[in-house]
């Protein structure tokens, strides 16, 4: 693995907060079993991540990015709850960003076939999308079981249908064998989940960190896009299309028009939420307008990834 020495140093620096500061907070300053279990799990993964880099394991970068995603969630928790807004936060983010940059610059062999790690990742994405889809569509009144905020039943069903579409994509990716079958969907994951993560940063006051869905939300929408973008980057040389007939010219035109309309809609929802609130078919808030923009922007990205 390239850059393993600086990466090992950065992981050791990152581990200080994971192995000492957070466990002290979880075990001595709080009485919450969830925080303590999270502390133990994160510390274990951090040690395993450092060992995997030092010993050159082929799955090391997967674990490095996973731990960094969890650390970013932990840092966001400390910032949002005013637990830590000191210079250490800035230093910590510098370490996290440096680790991510090294992970992207460390080129791993690309593969035409999907590995078990790819499918494990898609399984984790499915594990979030499917419950939200089911609760949103079938049990909208209980949506706070899986979401960190309450939305009216109509919104819950709308979100549920979108999440079920995402769950369908993930199920197909798990069943796929070739990277060409997942090549389009993977950058869509990065855009969809990455947008939700960025949007959430502007609405931190809407999230209650005492609720488990809030932690799940930020772990997912920090980790999912980061790893999806990394997978896409590592596999960038694999540009083959799935076997089968090419799309007809008429279908290509249709998809191009659809993607253009979705892009326009997503940009309006993202940058002009107040105006979209007034013209949307049902009552929405600026937060929901921003959330809706994420899936609408991901579909055009799929079309871009599909193009030769």
How confident is the model over 106-141, as pLDDT tens digits?
988 888 899 999 999 999 999 999 999 999 999 999
Instruction: Quick: pLDDT tens for 193-212.
Output: 999 999 999 999 999 999 99
pLDDT above 70 coverage of the chain, percent: 97
Which of 65, 291, 72, 273 is CA-nearest to residue 200?
291
Mean pLDDT computed over every residue of the chain: 93
Stated length of the chain: 308
Average pLDDT, integer, range 71-81: 97
Q: Is the pLDDT of residue 32 over 80?
A: yes
Q: Under a CB-based contact definition with an 8 Å cutoff, are residues 39 and 27 in contact?
A: yes
Q: Is the pLDDT of residue 42 over 80?
A: yes
**In whole angstroms, what is the distance from residue 61 CA to residue 226 CA?**
12
Q: Scanning the structure block, which residue is given the tokens 């005013």?
A: 82
**In whole angstroms, what is the distance from residue 219 CA to residue 266 CA?**
24
User: Which pLDDT does position 2 carry in this prediction?
Assistant: 58
User: Which pLDDT does position 245 carry in this prediction?
Assistant: 65
User: Which pLDDT does position 1 carry in this prediction?
Assistant: 53
Average pLDDT, integer, range 217-227: 98
């Amino acid at each position: 693995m390239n850059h393993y020495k600086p990466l090992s140093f950065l992981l050791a620096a990152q581990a200080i907060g994971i192995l000492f500061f957070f466990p002290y907070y979880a075990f001595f300053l709080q009485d919450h079993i969830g925080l303590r279990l999270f502390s133990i799990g994160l510390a274990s993964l951090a040690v395993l991540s450092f060992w995997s880099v030092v010993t050159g394991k082929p799955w090391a970068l997967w674990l490095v990015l996973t731990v960094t995603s969890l650390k970013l969630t932990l840092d966001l928790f400390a910032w949002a709850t005013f637990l830590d807004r000191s210079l250490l936060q800035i230093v910590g983010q510098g370490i996290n960003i440096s680790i991510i940059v090294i992970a992207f610059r460390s080129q791993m062999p690309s593969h035409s076939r999907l590995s078990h790690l790819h499918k494990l990742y898609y399984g984790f994405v499915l594990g979030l999308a499917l419950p939200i889809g089911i609760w949103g569509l079938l049990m909208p009144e209980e949506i706070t079981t899986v979401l960190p905020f309450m939305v009216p039943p109509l919104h819950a069903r709308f979100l549920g249908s979108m999440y079920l579409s995402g769950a369908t994509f993930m199920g197909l990716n798990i069943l796929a064998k070739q990277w060409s079958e997942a090549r389009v969907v993977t950058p869509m994951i990065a855009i969809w989940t990455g947008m939700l993560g960025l949007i959430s940063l502007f609405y931190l006051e809407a999230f209650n960190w005492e609720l488990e869905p809030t932690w799940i939300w930020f772990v997912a929408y920090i980790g999912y896009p980061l790893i999806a973008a990394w997978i896409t980057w590592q596999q960038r040389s694999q540009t083959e299309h799935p076997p089968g007939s090419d799309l007809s010219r008429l279908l290509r035109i249709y998809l191009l028009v659809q993607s253009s309309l979705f892009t326009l809609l997503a940009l309006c929802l993202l940058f002009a939420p107040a105006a979209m609130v007034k013209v949307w078919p049902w009552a929405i808030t600026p937060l929901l307008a921003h959330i809706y923009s994420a899936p609408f922007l991901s579909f055009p990205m799929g079309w871009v990834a599909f193009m030769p």
